[in-house]
Structure 1
Amino acid sequence: MLSALAASLFLAVSDRVRSRVLPHLVSFATGALLSAALLGLLPHAIESAGAADSHDIGLTLLGGLLLFFVLEKMVLWRHCHADVCEVHVSPEPHAHAHGHNHHRHPNNHSHEHGRDRASATLILIGDGFHNVLDGVLIAAAFMTDIHLGVVTAIAVCAHEIPQEVGDLAILLNGGMSRLKALTLNLLASVTSVLGGVLAYFAMAEVQQVLPYAIAIAASSFLYIAVADLIPGLHRKVDPGSGVWQLVYIVLGVVVIYVSHNLAH
């Protein structure tokens, strides 16, 4: 919810300011996620499981990466089908003579409007589901170690702020007012509380699964950073952008590293 509220501040600034600040937030989130996974979550998962089960932690990490790959494929598949709007079939030249070679022309207005509304709906569903998982991951981290929970929460916030800004942009583009977009985005964020409560009561009875839940958390952070955020950073190829990206990635690493050490 803090991430959603912080992101809502961008509703009050100009498009020019948003476009300048958002790339830096994405770079910072990349460093925060990578350091939280590799410096915080994985060491704790291995330590909690014990040396004898360290290979199982590695296997869980691999399985988590594959799981998030499949989930993203499913989301992309849904987006692909959501993009299918009403089309008009019109014959190409000589089609009347030959009775085939039909060409599909989309109704541009209804097609674009349908895509915008579908994207707004899907982003709310996807964000709500994602926040449930975030709540589960944060709860698992706190149940392992309160300091690890704080670090995990910081990393989640760092990742969520730029994502929430993007979500708000999609909602506004789907025809929602600023108030409605903000309200629905906050409601979607509340699902993280539900995930945390459910995870607490479920995992309290089976403490032995916590190291593997932490490994799943690490896999989610790694997948988001490597598969989603970093490819977006590579879209800018000029040296100046690359330098600033590296600066903010390192800043994200430093913030998580320092907060982790101070917590201990």
Structure 2
Amino acid sequence: MSYALECKKIKRTGLIPAFLGGGLLAALVPILNMSFRSEMYMTGDIPPLQILLDANWQMMTMLNLLLAVSGACIMYHTEYSDNAIQRMAALPLRESRLFFDKALVLTVLCALVLFIEIMALAFCCQYWFPDSGTFFPLSFAELMVNYGYLLLLMLPAVLISLLIASAFKNMWIPLGIHIICIFMATMLPVENFILTLFPFALPFQTLAGTETSRAVHFIIGVVIEIIVIGIGELIYLRIRRCFE
């Protein structure tokens, strides 16, 4: 019931068209890049998907993260405006349920954005690398595996964005924190595995061109981070209740 309520709330915020527009904008990045500079990427023996991700994914991820953090801030801003979150506290509904329902909604929106982008990458592979057999039979499975991997690595950023947004009534404060974190993530050295586990740095990682053992370590790190962030939100809610 509360998840359905969250879906109704976002209809008034404009998040759905914003995410669709942002996803289409990010999807245009590899298409435009290949349209104007395809000769730069069509030489060598590197798999087409890896070429496209290496050339475009950083910019696409920046757009994805900006959508995610903006969505998190807006979702909690609607709760704090007119003291709606205080009135909801009087209902027979756990505050933690509110957080996890918002996380699910934001994850679905991010999954939609990533799906649009992965389809754009598939189109680029098929159009500019027709001899690679991108769609069938194995390459399509490869695309879906990469899609699932990219979505999984996006989850810690989604959850930490919501956790930070839930702590401030003024949405500009968490938005500023998120922007700083995103730019910090772009400056972290990718060779240092521990630093790449920073939640806002994880979405910049790709499966294509990554060693299997390193990818497994990323997956384990993401699962641990999801659990830790979830527990952190529960602890924060308990502390906040003590001071209300």
TM-score band, normalised by shorter chain = 0.3 to 0.5
Query: Which of the pair is proportionally richer in helix?
Result: 1
**Greater RCO (CA < 8 Å, at least 6 residues apart):** 1
Structure 2 length-normalised TM: 0.33
Structure 1 length-normalised TM: 0.31
Structure with the greater alpha carbon radius of gyration: 1
